[in-house]
A and B are shown apart, each in its own frame.
Chain A
């Protein structure tokens, strides 16, 4: 027990079992943060090790001191300000009424503190070209704007510098980058964007021509302005920031909008299918399949009846009378997905080259579920959700060789992000095709080879 005496507590409890656990699993001891010197730049990346915790409180002074030190460290870490050095300050203007062209006769303005005329033009050529390209090529995601930016955008940035704008925001033809609520809130929260209230939202007389009131928006105000705007709720935002912080790129999927049909997904799907069995060969193959599958009328007689059976395969094939689900079979009609079981984010790994103007096929698709409001999905909901994702059969040398990997990979997959009051759990659900894996066609297991138990259909992560 921990509370026998003070000396016992000084001994670090031996819980090597915990080393493998995810650090973000439980509340961390913020004292560990003291070892980081925040203001020295470039020291990011190496996180402190997990702190030791005790089993239960005891009346010792030692424990009380540690607790108070932990709380002090947490207080200090949380009190750390969001600062913007004038050299790389990025300013966004809040546009509560959505995207609008700049007010008449507005030249690039000198903001209160930032000399940014020289910033807008020459800096970071790849950014400006990329964003300029977006303005022409990017199809408007939702109706309502002829500016080429999503209608839910609510902040624009006139001096988009920094790496974030490679994956965030959409430019209009006035070289302003418009941000969606989650993008604006994320950038403000991480201290990378200084958002200003527009003069129109304040009671101040608009004697100046700028839209910018110069009043920096607080974190508190930003949450009030952006959460609940354009379909953004805290669950979706938790998923967005959680993955952004780890370096993933997230964009809204069509399923974000409750009323949207998921046209583009099925189009994607059709593409992959036509890739599979094209032309005559495909037809011939299907014909051959039909021939070999043609029923031997099990009602009339024994399953494996008359005829010459040259191999066990023939017999096994005749024995397999139970229908099974083939994820690759073309669907007659797609079932509509029902919120919240629909893909709301397309996610790209940090290593995936991403262009805003032409996003590649997503690495992951995520549906966001509120743990408090939603029960376990029905099979119909789950199937519809999986069918809304493109066919992604297991491929690769390793997959070809290992049965369990194929089953785990599945033919379609989706990630469920279950959110309980800020705590997020991710589950991967895959459509495995057990029926496609003809065990009898595999070579018999070598006598000494250990075979693992079959994998469950949906593999949680």
Chain B
């Protein structure tokens, strides 16, 4: 999980949206740069729900812009990367890639098979234990030993093993390579017994470094960007604010663990501000135990050059309770 991806991280630009597909990049950006994005994909392990979502991570244009300005990421024209990359694919690459996938698929298959075997054994053991317990119960009224625990333990362990296979550092995986892993288990590695795999990224198929011709300029951002960047620089985690009818939600820490503190709305320095909006925002925020925060770039210094990058004024509003 603590893998450091190669910088700059490519952000895929497709049909007007910004995406990240690499799990290592997602955790790295969250951990090191407080960029969370919005998970918008279906989790294949539990696909029929909307509570926990999976890859890809959709980034706001503001997030993408911030990362590019920090030199952490670059924007990549994903459509052309894919089509050009596939066009440039040689037969040898294809073979190597397919072998790699097949080796992985075989490994997963074997892990699942061994786990099933284990489960079967445990089930048998449990039945025997049950019988023994019942027999013991007949003799003396002893409570039966707590069941199940070993079974669940082993499954989670196996889960982690499978996940680890895909989550692990990519370089390691490549070093390991198809030959090694397949030679390790030569007996059962038959083609039809490999799991098919849909990889999350195209990393092992296409060149890792995006070529210059596929790189795109800085993302266009809404006028709220200065406020976004300001709050981010103060350590807040920001996410889209639609659910509370504002522009951003500002979290004091990782949204995984903390409630948001502010409903954020950006406004222009001289833009007309309806006081009713302040009242409405303050009232809404207080109702959900959050503050309402308005702010924007201070344009008192008319000279764009001399203006500080962080010349942003913010105001927090709460119901006074009187």
The answer to whether B49 touches A67, judged by C-beta atoms less than 8 angstroms apart, is no
Set of chain B residues within 8 Å of A86, measured between Cβ atoms: 192-196
Complex-state Cα separation, A72 to B167, whole angstroms: 11
Complex-state Cα separation, A83 to B105, whole angstroms: 8
CB 8 Å contact bits of A274-291 with B (1 = contact, 0 = none): 000000000000000000
A295 proximal to B (CB < 8 A): no
Complex-state Cα separation, A34 to B86, whole angstroms: 37
Q: Which of A91, A190, A195, A218 contacts B44 (CB 8 A)?
A: A190
CB 8 Å contact bits of B70-107 with A (1 = contact, 0 = none): 00000000110111001111110010011001100100
A125 → chain B closest CB, angstroms: 25
Chain A contact residues: helix, strand, loop or mixed: mixed
A107 proximal to B (CB < 8 A): no
The answer to whether A218 touches B205, judged by C-beta atoms less than 8 angstroms apart, is yes
Q: Which of A75, A115, A225, A232 has the most CB of B within 10 A?
A: A75
B48 proximal to A (CB < 8 A): yes
Complex-state Cα separation, A241 to B58, whole angstroms: 14
Set of chain A residues within 8 Å of B55, measured between Cβ atoms: 78, 219
CB 8 Å contact bits of B22-45 with A (1 = contact, 0 = none): 010011001100001111111111
Q: Which of B1, B54, B59, B101 contacts A72 (CB 8 A)?
A: B1
B233 proximal to A (CB < 8 A): no
A147 proximal to B (CB < 8 A): no
CB 8 Å contact bits of A191-203 with B (1 = contact, 0 = none): 1101101000111
The answer to whether B89 touches A202, judged by C-beta atoms less than 8 angstroms apart, is yes
For chain A residues 53-85, which have a beta carbon within 8 Å of chain B? 53-57, 63, 66-67, 70-72, 74-85
Closest residue to A34 on the B side, CB-wise? B156
The answer to whether B196 touches A89, judged by C-beta atoms less than 8 angstroms apart, is yes
The answer to whether A81 touches B222, judged by C-beta atoms less than 8 angstroms apart, is no
Set of chain B residues within 8 Å of A297, measured between Cβ atoms: none
A24 proximal to B (CB < 8 A): yes
CB 8 Å contact bits of A114-144 with B (1 = contact, 0 = none): 1100000000000000000000000000000
The answer to whether A228 touches B15, judged by C-beta atoms less than 8 angstroms apart, is yes
Set of chain A residues within 8 Å of B27, measured between Cβ atoms: 71, 74-75, 78
B276 proximal to A (CB < 8 A): no
Set of chain B residues within 8 Å of A194, measured between Cβ atoms: 196, 198
Closest residue to B10 on the A side, CB-wise? A220
The answer to whether B42 touches A189, judged by C-beta atoms less than 8 angstroms apart, is yes
Chain B contact residues: helix, strand, loop or mixed: mixed
Closest residue to B119 on the A side, CB-wise? A40
Set of chain B residues within 8 Å of A188, measured between Cβ atoms: 198
The answer to whether B196 touches A53, judged by C-beta atoms less than 8 angstroms apart, is no
Complex-state Cα separation, A114 to B196, whole angstroms: 9
B196 → chain A closest CB, angstroms: 3
For chain A residues 179-235, which have a beta carbon within 8 Å of chain B? 186, 188-192, 194-195, 197, 201-205, 213-221, 223-225, 227-228, 232-234
For chain B residues 198-222, which have a beta carbon within 8 Å of chain A? 198-202, 205, 222
The answer to whether A219 touches B256, judged by C-beta atoms less than 8 angstroms apart, is no
A375 → chain B closest CB, angstroms: 13
Set of chain B residues within 8 Å of A205, measured between Cβ atoms: 91
B7 proximal to A (CB < 8 A): no
B118 → chain A closest CB, angstroms: 12
- Return 16 A-B CB contacts under 8 Å, by A number: A28-B256, A30-B256, A37-B155, A56-B252, A75-B23, A77-B43, A77-B52, A77-B54, A80-B163, A82-B197, A89-B196, A201-B83, A204-B89, A218-B198, A220-B202, A372-B222
Binding site for B on A (CB under 8 A): 23-30, 32-34, 36-40, 44-45, 47, 53-57, 63, 66-67, 70-72, 74-86, 89, 91, 112-115, 186, 188-192, 194-195, 197, 201-205, 213-221, 223-225, 227-228, 232-234, 238, 241-242, 245-247, 371-372, 418-423, 425
